[in-house]
Structure 1
């Protein structure tokens, strides 16, 4: 029997379309062979799990509601715990997140936060240059040589005590069209994870720093188990001990909240916590119930973490994590400093403090911020109310979150201002994303893809599940949407905002997605086809 050529030469069948000359130090033959090995071993399983997502959504469209699994009751009822958490991750009271841009990495690592989540996913626009240069930036950060000099001559370099680095690869659903292996498009997740692990895992392990990862967009224990096997294979291939790669899982899909025990169990030798990815969770609620006219949500600004279904979600996460010896991480504060308006800035910071106070008193072990200026604000709240490194001792046995509580719709209204804001934010973010920027300041908030996804999903539902009325009882109609989109497109085109030159393309895409008879799963999938 002939041996397939790919088993003799691992680079046979590997094709790159984004250019390699500028990134030869990252896209080495050995690194590409490592990534190709991940693809060949795991991609068929990944695609099968994505097909299960589609089938699951069709059942929801037909009227089913998400629920706890009957076949895994023994896992939920069992008395197991996860593996011990490494010393470097015992105190995670404030984590900062951001894209893998060079200056951002340095500022985030120097911010005073305990952890920096370097993001290849929702706050990065996945151009080929962004993704591969991001790998180079992180490699330089790991080896301590990263620096940056601005056009104005300001120099940036690492401090003596940088934050612990945690990397978020793309979700299982996102492709990397610039790489084909044996004629198939590579998964973005395997490129992001594979290149980072190949170049940095040994150094990080040698310094007792992991490597550590955040895993996004999971919907099931089987998807978590796939990551566990990917990491175990990577450890074996790189000559590292099993379980040294640690993971925190974002619970940011509605199906996943019903499998938190199961997800922890699937990753029990390497998981260190779950995170309330609340903006994506709201988007997932909207998407899961896209065909349920009785489960529409009010405008985005009214869907705060105090509404019943979100409160139930965050408290169940705390209870589940602490029962299993894992951390329960809180959600994002997206505010950015408001310069020149002390009153508005004071009000914004007061919202941050109130949100962090809610999290720490509920039992969360840490929280997220999007801007370095918020690190001391959030840390002061956690320092005051969490004198210990974490709150694993806070068991929250008082929490009972039923299926009905987790899927209950929020009560509220849709104002004209809220409708208009959804149109504007969706347009401005999409235009900036198409122009290569995935982390976008809009109205003093640092937005990523999740906000745009909530906005466009709400617009679709309000328009397709009519008659939905504004708070003044006027109907929400397609002509109103078309007029608002045209107005904001004109303003953006004439502005200096990020993405101004891609305004018309973004508007055409948003219009098509909003008018379509079915809500698309992700804005970023059709947008990726237009990405430079």
Structure 2
């Protein structure tokens, strides 16, 4: 290496550092303190170093190294399970775990802070959203790294900053356009956090040359920075979590082991962490007792994740041409298979001494149309009345404007904190009940709506937004997934759609025409400037690919994640 080359290299390095200022030097110092085998591949902006500390990353690395093999195993089990379904099998109760379902046992007692969960609001880990949700009047706020968040690197790390500030009570948000500062009220909702599902990675953190497991990264960073402050506020309990996308109790067993390791590492009593599991896959509904049993020391109950459940229902029976599902707008909770799922969840939870949480009200206030707003609120009220009378202990809402309505319904019908006393021994749900096909018709308009919603949601997701109001509903990844898999199912089996005067067969050619026409409609609705500056064409291409592939992908976001993964060249070297 020549002296001239060394001189030029050093000269350039010094000048770059001087131009970047002290911040870059401080970041470099922080990065040079990374634990062995850990590599940060995402950009390091101001404040990130407070989350990505050496000790926090060491804690994550320890968890990742211990549990990564088990995560890979359960993902392989999912594939094997789906292969059996594709060969004609259907989900069923496992005879090997019959004793767990029939024995008398209960989960550990729910802490007082979680005794009353009648209304829960959900939303992404965005700063303003966190403040508004905690101030909304809901009993619980589920802050989300999963379906309502586009997991860009910046969204994820800033989400951890926001949550740390929320737990510490210091979170504020300045809206300069409105000249308004948002901050927490004296009384706020209890904070729960939903990490990503087992199938997702965090590509911007590498451990021993492999991307970190998304949910382990979410859990480790949040737990490390907040467990002490959280527990000091809630009588020694917490943090509290929602756990998504499980398909089998072996997946719950991993979470239980992660909780035990985290508590043991910081010398916290086992059982301090509490978690509610979303039953949002068809295989999991046959494993509810087993899931609660694995988490019985840490369980806070189960939740009816209705939208993902419908998505999973279609995906699980994808190889069964006799199981074509009607328009998604017709697949409501009064359909027999969904009613059976909800009632079985209530009976199971109350038998085991934990909460049975209801599903999402996706409607949002419609400010410019009073009649439409009244109709939407009437739907929400009827849905929540159904839930509370069935025995649910609480429910979800997607918008602060619904909190009072939903609270009133539960207050009038559930004056006590919960309904654990309602055992629902009258419920006797069979495998046939859970697998009964929903009734309804398939229409071209539904194919169009699925396509329009799917493209617009995916475009928002690619540009960093994971929760999107569309056509007076709050759409997230779950509802986009229903649109995708329903389109795929209809195209794959050339479904007949109700038509006048004759039925219409769904083909790839018809779908291509629908995509083209719906793109035109989207452009008219959002405006040419917004359309041309966005990623609508890219989203349409990706969505169409996902709907027409010969073999259905497990999740839309697996491929889409590659479109939002951005590595920083500054941090790309192994340190």
2:26 alignment partner in structure 1: none
- How many residue pairs get aligned? The number is 524
The 3-state SS of whatever aligns with 2:537 is helix
Unaligned runs of 5+ in 1: 1-8
The structural deviation recorded for 1:19 is 2.0
> 558, 566, 571: which is aligned to 1:525?
558
Contact 1:414 1:471 in 2 (8 A): no
Match of 1:243 among 266, 271, 277: 271
Map residues 277-296 of structure 1 onto 2, 5 A cutoff: 277-296=305-324
Task: Pick closer, same or farther for the CA change 1:106–1:239 going to 2, 3 Å.
Answer: same
Q: Is the 8 A contact 1:493 1:500 kept in 2?
A: no
Note closer, same or farther for the CA distance 1:351–1:498 as it changes in structure 2 (3 Å cut).
farther
Q: 1:66 aligns with which of 70, 91, 112?
A: 91
Match of 1:173 in 2: 199
The answer to whether the 8 Å contact 1:198/1:238 transfers is: no
Unaligned runs of 5+ in 2: 1-32, 566-575
- The equivalent residue for 1:335 is 363
> Cα deviations across residues 430-463 of structure 1 (Å, max 9, x unaligned)?
1100010000010011110001100010000001
Offset of residue 241 of structure 1:
1.1
CA contact (8 A) 1:125 1:434 kept: yes
Q: Partner residue of 1:195?
A: 221
Which of 497, 503, 514 is 2:536 aligned to? 503
Which of these residues, 5, 10, 13, is aligned with residue 37 of structure 2?
Answer: 13
Aligned partners of 2:40 and 2:34: how far apart in 1? 14
**3-state SS of 1:305 partner:** coil
TM-score where L is the length of structure 1: 0.97
1:479 counterpart residue number: 509
* 1:471 to partner: Cα distance: 4.5
Residue 20 of structure 1 deviates from its aligned partner by 2.5
Residue 151 (structure 1) shift: 2.4
Contact 2:34 2:54 in 1 (8 A): no
Moved more, 9-18 or 49-58: 9-18
Contact 1:228 1:266 in 2 (8 A): yes
> Structure 1 residue aligned with 2:114, among 77, 82, 89?
89
- Matched residues in 1 for 2:404 and 2:532: separation? 31
Q: Which moved more, 1:361-370 or 1:232-241?
A: 232-241
Which of 479, 483, 490 in structure 2 is aligned with 1:451?
A: 479
Q: Would the alpha carbon gap of residues 243 and 150 (structure 1) be closer, same or farther in structure 2, given more than 3 Å must change?
A: same
Which stretch shows the higher mean deviation, 413-422 or 349-358?
Answer: 413-422
* Greater mean alpha carbon deviation, residues 279-288 or residues 12-21: 12-21
**C-alpha deviation, 1:415, in angstroms:** 1.9
Match of 1:512 in 2: 545
Per the TM alignment, residue 510 of structure 1 is displaced from its structure 2 partner at its CA by 1.2
Q: Which residue of 1 aligns with 2:325?
A: 297
Distance 1:224 1:172, change over 3 A: same
Equivalents in 1 of 2:111, 2:266: separation in Å? 20
Structure 1 residue 466: Cα displacement: 2.1
Partner of 1:3: none
Alignment of 1:32-71 (within 5 A): 32-71=57-96
Cα offsets for 1:151-172 (capped at 9, x unmatched): 2211100000110000000000
Partner of 2:428: 400
Q: CA deviation at 1:493?
A: 4.8
Alignment correspondent of 1:469: 497
SS at match of 2:535: helix
Q: Normalized against structure 2, the TM-score is what?
A: 0.90
Structure 2: how far apart are the matches of 1:464 and 1:138?
43
Alignment deviations for residues 90-149 of structure 1 (CA, whole Å, 9 cap, x no partner): 000000000000000000000000000000000000000000000000000000000001
RMSD over aligned CA atoms reads 1.3
Distance 1:289 1:381 in 2: 36
- In the aligned structure 2, how far is the partner of 1:498 from the partner of 1:269? 50
Q: Distance in 2 between matches of 1:198 and 1:252?
A: 28
- Range moving further from structure 2, 508-517 or 421-430: 508-517
Contact 2:444 2:497 in 1 (8 A): no
Equivalent position to 1:159, from 185, 195, 209: 185
> 2:146 maps to what in 1?
121
State the SS of the aligned residue for 2:546: helix
**Post-superposition offset of 1:21:** 4.3
Change (3 A) 1:273 1:498: farther
For 1:315 and 1:414, locate their aligned partners in 2 and report how far apart those are by CA, in whole Å: 27
Q: Which residue of 2 aligns with 1:4?
A: none
Distance 1:332 1:498, change over 3 A: farther
Aligned partners of 1:249 and 1:273 also within 8 Å: yes
CA distance in structure 1 between the aligned counterparts of 2:510 and 2:469, rounded to whole angstroms:
26
